[in-house]
């Protein structure tokens, strides 16, 4: 009987309204004490385990973002100002735990929006998203498909931006002619492999061997690196390896005497890599994620608010913890806040409509909603992306490059390699 | 009559249990129920004295088989779960040929290697296994109504009721097996293998039997998991998950039927509910590890020894 009542009345809107009301009711005493209306935002990402480096620094960044926004009066909706509060749930990069976390955040905490890392965890959450209509964000647009209408990728178009690093290398170091690549054999590594292959082909750089895919459980990288550099390549590409792999691989490259160019999607905690190798060895290491004290981020077209101040505050509170995702979730919140204020509401339907109305203010400049050809849906915000190189022991932005411009010229190559690795939206699952 | 009343009270408690929990706790309850079957099936294997590191992968075999049968061949989901269990059991029979040439520590390592080979095959063959990304959009259990209750299997309460019935039936079968002459022979294979062999017991055949029965039930638990979360990938069944199964069994104890179940319940509640609710979200691995070390130091015979002590004290006049 009970289930009949629940079932008959369970539309997306009533579901969200009732859970929000229940959550609001449960937090009444605290709200009354604080004299503030509160909007809760869910943070559903790995906070422990091997992938925690792409979750935990993001939550830390969000806490700084929330303090800044709250100090400035909060989020201004049609019925008044709201303070922002983040509710975290450690999904341990496990789809079952991600499902539990999504259920808790929506049905118990009454959040208005949930940010995720995505990847392996998204398919566990998708039925919850479908049922509730909750708006989710991912850092991995490879989660997008025509079915994921309430999933957006507004911060990074992993792994497509990796093409900018290779393109920059080809133009600035034309003497580099050959490359090899290694990656962990998982949902994060494979689309990135396809992207780098397309980028190298577009740049006229020859792959000496097939990409070397290692198991995510690998701990000894000496044989991996030995095999990788056996052909004496000009470039070693570390794909989108987790920092737990990038560090030991870089160490092995150093110990085995590699003198060539290294390119990687990320170089989280690169200061530790320098201390384990040498400043000379790491000089010129190319990757895609800047430190936010970089002067290039003070340009007028950058939409991230006070990047230098944000970076200083982050490092003050979490010394040595700055990583690829430290700013990304906060930049998603900038977009969400702007859309909610434009819509005058935190309702997921209203926010996504306002968000996708025209160009989006991406952290690195205004960008377009894009991706139908690759992802089957235009829910990825794509524009410029920085190419970063380590110079004198410090990450330095070398240039911003436009991703859609690259895709216009070489999109067929990307589609070809994505298809070869079964990574197109209609090939997945 | 007394047993019947205890059964009724137990059934009523299991029926009422999810309604006293929050939504997320109901979700955890579903996974806990499935894991109880997994760890109980693991115990059956340990009766013969062999500890495997491939049990979670065998669970995955059931999950993959059930998912593929329902998704690619349109097999009715409850039937596909059962077939998933049967396929796991048959695979265990095949694996037993190389694995039972080894014993003890060598079997442990051999089972780990066999499991890793299976996981690599899932990754390597994107068709049909989906590669590293695995399979998603797995058919859910079809909803149905029994008049007084509508089963909507998206809802954790409905899926819990289904799981609890399946798991209870499986546990009853496992219990009956252990109490049967076959189960007693499993004990003999472990503790008195030379004597058993001298009495005409085919040690290898009984080890294979225990391995395949345990794998069959692990496969059913995998099928239950796959059709609930709707997605599986090779990492869902890696050695890290196996370590959890081992700790449930070790902390709970394996000398009684309820020991591993107790370990599974206590550690899951501790890790997924208590530590999260206390705000130790990011410190859980540290605290969980410390509690495990302490429990092994101070309760070397497992949680079951505490229960036994309590009941033996009560039994004394």
Return the residue in B70, B156, B231, B271 with the most chain A beta carbons within 10 A, the one to mutate for interface testing: B231
Nearest to A123 among B149, B231, B281 (CB): B231
So what's the pLDDT on residue A38? Answer: 95
Cβ-Cβ pairs closer than 8 A, A with B, add up to 110
Q: CA of A119: which chain B residue's CA is closest?
A: B133
B231/A131 touch (CB, cutoff 8 Å), yes or no: no
How far are the Cα atoms of A124, A191, A333, B99 from residue B126, in angstroms, in the given order?
19, 14, 36, 27
What whole-number distance in Å separates Cα of residue A77 and Cα of residue B69? Answer: 50
So what's the pLDDT on residue B314? Answer: 67
pLDDT band at residue A105 under the 50/70/90 scheme: very high
The whole-number average pLDDT for the span A29-37 is 53
So what's the pLDDT on residue A215? Answer: 83
| Percent of all residues in chain A with a pLDDT value above 90, rounded to a whole number | 79
A19, pLDDT greater than 70? no
Task: Work out the widest C-alpha separation in chain B, in whole angstroms.
Answer: 66
Return the residue in A23, A49, A59, A96 with the most chain B beta carbons within 10 A, the one to mutate for interface testing: A96
Q: In chain B, which residues have their Cβ closer than 8 Å to the Cβ of A190?
A: 131-133
Q: Are A54 and A10 in contact (CB under 8 A)?
A: no
Q: In chain B, which residues have their Cβ closer than 8 Å to the Cβ of A126?
A: 136, 230-231
pLDDT band at residue A32 under the 50/70/90 scheme: very low
So what's the pLDDT on residue A303? Answer: 93
Domain residue ranges of chain A, discontinuous segments joined by +: 2-158+308-382, 162-290+384-420
Return the residue in B71, B136, B278 with the most chain A beta carbons within 10 A, the one to mutate for interface testing: B136
Using one digit for the tens of pLDDT, what is the confidence trace for B245-265?
Answer: 999 999 999 889 999 999 999
The whole-number average pLDDT for the span B131-155 is 90
B149/A3 touch (CB, cutoff 8 Å), yes or no: yes
Q: Are B302 and B259 in contact (CB under 8 A)?
A: yes
Cβ atoms < 10 Å from Cβ of B79: 12
What whole-number distance in Å separates Cα of residue B269 and Cα of residue B89? Answer: 30
What whole-number distance in Å separates Cα of residue B201 and Cα of residue B214? Answer: 20
The whole-number average pLDDT for the span A108-123 is 94
pLDDT band at residue A6 under the 50/70/90 scheme: very low
What whole-number distance in Å separates Cα of residue B87 and Cα of residue B91? Answer: 6
> Pairing relation of β-strands B144-145 and B150-151?
antiparallel
Cβ atoms < 10 Å from Cβ of A397: 17
A428/B24 touch (CB, cutoff 8 Å), yes or no: no
| Percent of all residues in chain B with a pLDDT value above 70, rounded to a whole number | 99
Q: Which of A84-93, A213-222, A420-429 has the lowest mean pLDDT?
A: A420-429
Q: Cα B131 vs. chain centroid, distance in angstroms?
A: 25
The whole-number average pLDDT for the span B100-123 is 93
pLDDT band at residue B177 under the 50/70/90 scheme: very high
B192, pLDDT greater than 90? no
Q: In chain B, which residues have their Cβ closer than 8 Å to the Cβ of A429?
A: 130, 133-137, 231
What whole-number distance in Å separates Cα of residue A115 and Cα of residue A2? Answer: 32
A29, pLDDT greater than 70? no
CATH number, span A162-290+384-420: 3.40.50.2300
A186 vs A76 pLDDT, higher one: A76
B231, pLDDT greater than 70? yes
- Is A5 within 8 Å of chain B by CB? no
Q: Cα A98 vs. chain centroid, distance in angstroms?
A: 17
β-bridge mates for residue A391, sequence order = A394
Cβ atoms < 10 Å from Cβ of B74: 9
The whole-number average pLDDT for the span A262-275 is 95
| Percent of all residues in chain A with a pLDDT value above 70, rounded to a whole number | 92
What whole-number distance in Å separates Cα of residue A364 and Cα of residue B300? Answer: 57
- Residues 6 or more apart whose Cβ sits within 8 Å of residue B197: B203
- Residue B92 sits at φ, ψ, to 5 deg, of -60, -40
Domain residue ranges of chain B, discontinuous segments joined by +: 22-236, 238-317
The whole-number average pLDDT for the span B59-77 is 97
A11, pLDDT greater than 70? no
The whole-number average pLDDT for the span B151-166 is 94
pLDDT band at residue B277 under the 50/70/90 scheme: confident
The answer to whether A2-158+308-382 and A162-290+384-420 have equal CATH topology is yes
What do you get for the CA distance between the two ends of chain B, in Å?
Answer: 25
Average pLDDT over chain A, rounded to an integer = 90
So what's the pLDDT on residue B316? Answer: 62
- Residue A304 sits at φ, ψ, to 5 deg, of -70, 125
Interfacial A residues in 176-215 facing B (CB < 8 Å): 185-187, 189-190, 215
A96/B150 touch (CB, cutoff 8 Å), yes or no: no
Three-state secondary structure of chain B: CHHHHHHHHHHHHHHHHHHHCCHHHHHHHHHHHHHHHHHHHHHHHHCCCCCCCCHHHHHHHHHHHHHHHHHHCCCCHHHHHHHHHHHHHHHHHHHHHHHCCCCHHHHHHHHHHHHHHHHHHHHHCHHHHCHHHCEECCCCCCCEECCCCEECCCCHHHHHHHHHHHHHHHHHHHHHHHHCHHHHHHHHHHHCHHHHHHCCCCHHHHHHHHHHHHHHHHHHHHHHHHHHHCEECHHHHCHHHHHHHHHHHHHHCCCCCCHHHHHHHHHHHHHHHHHHHCCCHHHHHHHHHHHHHHHHHHCCCCHHHHHHHHHHHHHCC
What whole-number distance in Å separates Cα of residue A409 and Cα of residue A35? Answer: 55
Q: Tell me which DSSP letter residue A150 carries.
A: T
What whole-number distance in Å separates Cα of residue A347 and Cα of residue A394? Answer: 42
Give the CA angle between residues A363, A366, A370 to the nearest 5°: 100
Give the HSE-up count for residue A310: Cα atoms under 13 Å, Cβ half-sphere: 30
Nearest to B123 among A88, A103, A185 (CB): A185
How far are the Cα atoms of A175, A421, B37, B123 from residue B29, in angstroms, in the given order?
60, 37, 13, 30
So what's the pLDDT on residue A35? Answer: 55
Using one digit for the tens of pLDDT, what is the confidence trace for B195-210?
Answer: 888 888 899 999 999 9
β-bridge mates for residue A369, sequence order = A381
Q: CA of A122: which chain B residue's CA is closest?
A: B231
- Please give the CATH topology (third level) of the domain spanning A2-158+308-382: Rossmann fold (3.40.50)
What whole-number distance in Å separates Cα of residue A283 and Cα of residue A394? Answer: 9
Closest CA to B34 of B126, B136, B188, B156: B156
Q: In chain B, which residues have their Cβ closer than 8 Å to the Cβ of A99?
A: 27, 229
- Residues 6 or more apart whose Cβ sits within 8 Å of residue A134: A16, A102, A106, A111, A113, A114, A128, A150, A348
pLDDT band at residue A15 under the 50/70/90 scheme: very low
Interfacial residues of B (vs A; Cβ cutoff 8 Å): 22-24, 27-28, 31, 116, 120, 123, 126-127, 130-137, 140, 148-152, 154-156, 158, 225, 229-233, 235-236, 238-239, 272, 276, 281-282, 284-285
A27, pLDDT greater than 50? no
pLDDT band at residue B296 under the 50/70/90 scheme: confident
Average pLDDT over chain B, rounded to an integer = 92
Q: Are A407 and A195 in contact (CB under 8 A)?
A: no
So what's the pLDDT on residue A24? Answer: 45
The whole-number average pLDDT for the span A302-315 is 94
What do you get for the CA distance between the two ends of chain A, in Å?
Answer: 36
So what's the pLDDT on residue A13? Answer: 47
Q: Are A64 and A330 in contact (CB under 8 A)?
A: yes
B303, pLDDT greater than 70? yes
Q: Tell me which DSSP letter residue A266 carries.
A: -
E strands, A91-220, where?
113-116, 136-137, 151-152, 178-184, 206-207, 212-214
Looking at the complex, report in whole angstroms how far the Cα of residue B187 sits from the nearest Cα belonging to chain A.
Answer: 35
- Is A47 within 8 Å of chain B by CB? yes
The CA-based dihedral angle spanning residues A49, A55, A56, A61, taken in that order and rounded to the nearest 10 degrees:
170
| Percent of all residues in chain B with a pLDDT value above 90, rounded to a whole number | 66
So what's the pLDDT on residue A89? Answer: 95
Q: Cα B83 vs. chain centroid, distance in angstroms?
A: 17
């Amino acid at each position: 009987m009970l289930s009949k009542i629940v079932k008959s009345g369970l539309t997306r809107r009533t579901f969200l309204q009732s859970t929000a009301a229940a959550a609001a009711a449960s937090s009444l005493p605290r709200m009354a004490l604080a004299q503030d209306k509160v909007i809760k935002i869910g943070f559903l990402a790995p906070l422990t385990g091997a992938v925690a480096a792409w979750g935990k620094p993001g939550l830390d960044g969000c806490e700084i973002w929330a303090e800044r926004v709250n100090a400035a009066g909060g989020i201004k909706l049609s019925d008044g100002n709201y303070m922002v509060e983040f509710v975290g749930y450690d999904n341990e990069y496990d789809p079952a735990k991600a499902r539990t976390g999504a259920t808790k955040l929506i049905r118990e905490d009454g959040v208005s929006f949930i940010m995720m890392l995505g990847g392996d965890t998204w398919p566990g959450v998708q039925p919850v998203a479908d049922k509730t209509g909750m708006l989710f964000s991912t850092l991995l647009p490879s989660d997008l498909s025509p079915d994921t209408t309430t999933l957006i990728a507004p911060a990074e178009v992993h792994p497509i931006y990796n093409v900018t690093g290779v393109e920059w290398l080809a133009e600035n170091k034309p003497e580099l002619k050959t490359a090899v690549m290694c990656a962990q054999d998982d949902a994060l590594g494979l689309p990135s492999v396809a992207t780098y292959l397309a980028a190298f082909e577009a740049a006229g750089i020859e792959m000496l061997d097939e990409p070397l895919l290692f198991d995510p459980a690998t701990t000894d990288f000496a044989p991996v690196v030995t095999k990788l550099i056996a052909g004496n390549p000009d470039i070693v590409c570390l794909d989108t390896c987790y920092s737990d792999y990038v560090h030991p691989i870089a160490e092995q490259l150093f110990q085995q005497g590699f003198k060539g160019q290294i390119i990687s999607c990320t170089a989280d905690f690169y200061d530790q890599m320098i201390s384990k190798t040498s400043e000379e060895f790491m000089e010129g290491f190319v990757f895609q994620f800047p430190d936010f004290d970089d002067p290039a981020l003070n340009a007028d077209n950058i939409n991230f608010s006070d990047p230098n101040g944000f970076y200083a505050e982050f490092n003050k509170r979490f010394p040595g913890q700055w990583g690829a995702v430290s700013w990304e979730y906060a930049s998603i919140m900038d977009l969400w806040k702007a859309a909610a204020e434009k819509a005058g509401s935190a309702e997921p339907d209203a926010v996504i409509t306002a968000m996708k109305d025209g160009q989006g203010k991406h952290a690195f400049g205004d960008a377009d909603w894009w991706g139908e050809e690759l992802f089957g849906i235009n829910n990825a915000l794509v524009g410029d992306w920085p190419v970063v190189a380590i110079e004198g022991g410090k990450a330095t932005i070398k240039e911003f490059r436009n991703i859609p411009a690259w895709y216009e010229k070489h999109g067929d190559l990307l589609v070809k390699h994505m298809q070869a690795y079964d990574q197109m939206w209609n090939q997945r699952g | 009559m007394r047993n019947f009343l205890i059964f009724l009270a137990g059934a009523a408690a299991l029926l009422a249990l999810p309604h006293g929990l929050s939504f997320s706790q109901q979700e955890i309850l579903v996974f806990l129920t499935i894991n109880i079957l997994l760890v109980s099936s693991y115990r059956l294997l340990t009766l013969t004295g062999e500890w495997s590191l491939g049990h979670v992968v065998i669970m995955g075999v059931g999950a993959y088989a059930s998912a593929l049968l329902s998704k690619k061949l349109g097999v009715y989901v409850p039937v596909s779960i059962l077939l998933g269990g049967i396929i796991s059991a048959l695979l265990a029979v095949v694996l037993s040929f190389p694995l039972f040439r080894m014993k003890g520590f060598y079997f442990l390592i051999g089972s780990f290697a066999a499991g890793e080979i299976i996981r690599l095959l899932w990754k390597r063959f994107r068709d049909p296994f989906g590669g590293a990304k695995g399979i998603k959009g797995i058919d859910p259990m079809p909803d149905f109504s029994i008049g007084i209750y509508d089963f909507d299997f998206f809802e954790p309460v409905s899926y819990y009721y289904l799981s609890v019935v399946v798991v209870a039936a499986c546990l009853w079968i496992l219990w009956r097996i252990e109490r049967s002459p076959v189960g007693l022979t499993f004990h003999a294979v472990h503790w008195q293998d030379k004597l058993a062999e001298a009495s005409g017991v085919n040690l290898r055949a009984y080890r294979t039997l225990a391995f395949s029965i345990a794998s069959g039930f692990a496969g059913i638990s995998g099928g239950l998991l796959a059709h609930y979360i709707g997605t599986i990938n090779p990492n869902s069944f890696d050695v890290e998950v196996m370590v959890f199964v081992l700790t449930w069994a070790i902390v709970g104890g394996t000398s009684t039927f309820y020991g591993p179940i107790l370990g599974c319940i206590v550690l899951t509640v501790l890790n997924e509910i208590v530590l999260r609710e206390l705000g130790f979200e990011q410190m859980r691995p540290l605290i969980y590890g410390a509690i495990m070390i302490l429990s092994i130091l101070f309760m070397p015979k497992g949680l079951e020894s505490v229960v036994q002590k309590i009941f033996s004290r009560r039994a004394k006049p």
